[in-house]
Amino acid sequence: MATYQIRRINNNNITIDGSSNAHLVSLTGTGIPPVKRILDGGTNFDGKIDRGYILEPRRMVMTLFANAATRSAMEDLRDTIADMFKPNSAEDLFSLRITKDNGDVRQIDCALDGEMDLPLEVDRFAENKIVVPLIAANPIWYDPTEQNQQVTITTSGQIINMNYAGTWFEYPRVQLRGAITNPAIAFTMPDGGSETVSTTGSIPTGVSWLYYYTIGDKKAADNGASQFDLLNDASIKALARTVLAPPDEMLATQTCTISGSALDGNTQFTLLYHNRYIAL
């Protein structure tokens, strides 16, 4: 049986699965999010030139049926539901986690977008139908279990095949543990080219650097200390352009090549990512 859960960082979670006092009636907006085509044109020109697309934020509508044994219990449940969805300055987003009937787990980060009414129905004092409008600024679903692909690097130029299994693009993190001098990390891309992040300097034995390819958080760090100044302009651009791609987007198996000198038996590459999905 599928389960539905609203999750907060403080673990104040509520499960909506039919076995609790809050039941999911419907959830719309779970498929492919709004796709906006970017069109360009001018005078004396037939039609438009299609420059590509962007994915707009995802809007969903969750309809709940809440019921309780007594009027007093219903009032408590109404308070609980209001607390789960209300804006919070410390934690404005919450996660909607769905475990599907086939066992797959999908999650999306969203927020209340509009009015969530809690109607008083005098004749049905212990029941409420509640409509919750939601928005996900990042419209992509993901598996909340972080994936970890770890490989020991024994030679410069070692090629690693990617195991990414999502249906949409992911922006990963790479942990590189020394010893290695002047490391370079090169991912192949969907267009057949590659993007390389090169660092000038040495990572000592047992020390790990983290390279963040994540949206809005591009950086290279050594135990939290920024090493961004060790990246050249091309490497900074590569941080912005590198993605893990679904297999059907690649011309061949996606790979990552690790190069550098002064390797020892401790040199290690770790890829950290979530499988992401265009639809539920």
Mean pLDDT over 175-197 rounds to 95
CB within 8 Å of 122: residues ≥ 6 apart: none
Look at 73 and 134; give whichever has higher pLDDT: 134
Of 33-37, 218-222, 260-264, minimum mean pLDDT range: 218-222
- pLDDT > 70? residue 280: yes
Distance of alpha carbon 194 from alpha carbon 129, whole angstroms? 52
What letter represents residue 248's amino acid? Answer: D
Tokens of 43: 């005078």
Distance of alpha carbon 31 from alpha carbon 36, whole angstroms? 15
CB within 8 Å of 210: residues ≥ 6 apart: 173, 174, 175, 220, 221, 222
In tens, the pLDDT along 5-57 reads: 888 776 677 788 655 678 889 999 999 999 999 999 888 888 999 999 999 99
Look at the block and give the residue holding tokens 């090629």. 159
Tokens of 206: 């047992």
Mean pLDDT over 134-148 rounds to 97
Q: Do the Cβ atoms of 233 and 117 come closer than 8 Å?
A: no
Distance of alpha carbon 38 from alpha carbon 49, whole angstroms? 8
Distance of alpha carbon 69 from alpha carbon 159, whole angstroms? 62
Alpha helices (H) in the chain, listed in sequence order: 71-85, 233-241
Give the E-state strand segments of 213-263 in sequence order: 219-222, 225-226, 255-261
- For the chain, how many residues are written? 280
Tokens of 208: 């790990």
Of 32-41, 199-208, 210-219, minimum mean pLDDT range: 210-219
- Please report which confidence band the pLDDT of residue 124 belongs to, taking 50, 70 and 90 as the band edges: low
Mean pLDDT over 196-205 rounds to 91
Residue 49's CB: how many other CB atoms inside 10 A? 10
Distance of alpha carbon 123 from alpha carbon 133, whole angstroms? 26
Tokens of 16: 């909506």
pTM of the predicted structure, to 2 decimals: 0.90
Mean pLDDT over 171-179 rounds to 95
Distance of alpha carbon 72 from alpha carbon 31, whole angstroms? 38
Distance of alpha carbon 235 from alpha carbon 138, whole angstroms? 25
Q: Do the Cβ atoms of 47 and 15 come closer than 8 Å?
A: no
- Please report which confidence band the pLDDT of residue 122 belongs to, taking 50, 70 and 90 as the band edges: low
Strand partners, 23: 65
